[in-house]
Each structure stands twice: as C-alpha cells, then as structure tokens.
Chains A and B, each alone.
Chain A
Amino acid sequence: GIQVEQSPPDLILQEGANSTLRCNFSDSVNNLQWFHQNPWGQLINLFYIPSGTKQNGRLSATTVATERYSLLYISSSQTTDSGVYFCAVARTSGSRLTFGEGTQLTVNP
C-alpha cells in the first residue's frame, strides 16, 4: 500500500515562531488532507490539497504532486496551535485515507 512519512516527528517552538511540516508519499494520489488533532482528540480539517497551494489565515499548504510531497506552513505560531498534525492521502476520491505518523507540535508561551 501507499506509504506516508511525516517530518519532523516532534517540534517545539516559542510563540510567534514560524514552522514547516513535511509529508512525503510513495505513490500518486487524488486526495491529500492536512488535519490538526487537538488535545481532545478531534481531527480538524485544515486543507484538502492534492496539488497546488492554499492559504487560510496563518496557515498555508503546498503540494507538489509530481514530486510526491506536501508542506504545511504555520506562521506566527500560537499556543493554541499545539497538537498533532497529520497528513493523509488516498489514491481515489472514494478510497481510504492513509495517515502518516504525525508531527507533535508544542508551542510554548
């Protein structure tokens, strides 16, 4: 099956810092989603981005499908950004998502 690798596994930042999270995947995909799992376990949709670039406030994401990677940028981080960030991919629109192991982000005040 498709493999998803995320880096770094852990990231500790001071409030206000910027960060880049990376997701590599092993095959072509039609669905790529970034999620934030908050401390209560809820997976919050950040981006649906199988290709191209999107921005939403302090967050932005870029997927280079031909090179099989995606990047999530967090600018001016806040303590509420803490949690685990997951990248998940699927080969087709109706198929299962395969998740990476996640990046554990801690933002200190």
Chain B
Amino acid sequence: GAGVSQSPRYKVAKRGQDVALRCDPISGHVSLFWYQQALGQGPEFLTYFQNEAQLDKSGLPSDRFFAERPEGSVSTLKIQRTQQEDSAVYLCASKGQMSSYEQYFGPGTRLTVT
C-alpha cells in the first residue's frame, strides 16, 4: 500500500511569510508525528497526534509553529512569520494501532527561508 506522503517536497519562503506543510499518513494509522531535521543532524520531535487529538506539542520551538489534524487523517504543520532558523527538513511519520510500535516516515519537506 501507499506510504506516508508529504507536500510540497520543497518550499522556498521569504522571511516573514507563512507556510503550510501537509502530511498524508498511511491509511488507517492512528498516530502521527512531526519532526524537524536540521542539516547534518538527526530528526527532532515537534508534535504528536493520536487521531485528531494533539497529545504532545512540547517540541514545537515557538508559538509561530502550529499543527492540526482535524479529521484524524491528514495533518498540516503551519509556520507563521518564518525566520531563517526555520530552514530545515520537516518529516512526518505515522504509526498504526496502539499495539504497533514502528513509525514510518514520509519523504519530508525541505523548507528554505531566504
């Protein structure tokens, strides 16, 4: 079946613009995670949803970052008033039922803020 998909794959934004990044998880996956990967580093956790409930948003770096998953499927990560330090790859992962532990990642969105 289809894996996790993300769009756009690449996004260039001028500093101060708002951006929206989309994640389509594997069909039927209950849990959805967002991670941020800076160049040369491992991914770092941003936020976690179980169905439509955002259970953990402790990794969001500032109040300019907002995520939602209103129907428990597709999720959107929104960054307001982008700054240069927001330049990174944003990865989405999904996980199946509670008895399943393995997370599966999408291809990521590479955000460059100029």
Asked if A99 contacts B98 (CB within 8 A), the reply is: no
Give the interface segment out of B16-24, B68-76, B79-87, B103-111: B103-111
Query: In the complex, what residues of A have CB within 8 A of residue B63's CB?
Result: none
Q: A interface, how many residues as a size bin?
A: 20 to 34
The number of residues on chain B lying at the interface, defined by a beta carbon within 8 Å of a beta carbon of chain A, is 28
Name the prevailing secondary structure of the B interface residues.
strand
A-B contact count (CB 8 A): 62
**Chain A residues, CB < 8 A from B67:** none
CB-nearest residue of chain A relative to B102? A48
Contact between B45 and A98 (Cβ–Cβ < 8 Å)? yes
Report the bound CA distance from A96 to B55 in whole Å: 11
- In whole angstroms, how far apart are the Cα atoms of A44 and B55 in the complex? 26
> Could you tell me the distance between the alpha carbons of A74 and B107 in the complex, rounded to whole angstroms?
24
Asked if A43 and B91 make an inter-chain contact with CB atoms under 8 angstroms apart, the answer reads yes
Residues 24-73 (chain A) with a chain B CB within 8 angstroms: 30-31, 33, 35, 40-43, 45, 48, 50
Interface residues of A, Cβ cutoff 8 Å to B: 4, 30-31, 33, 35, 40-43, 45, 48, 50, 86, 88, 90, 93-102
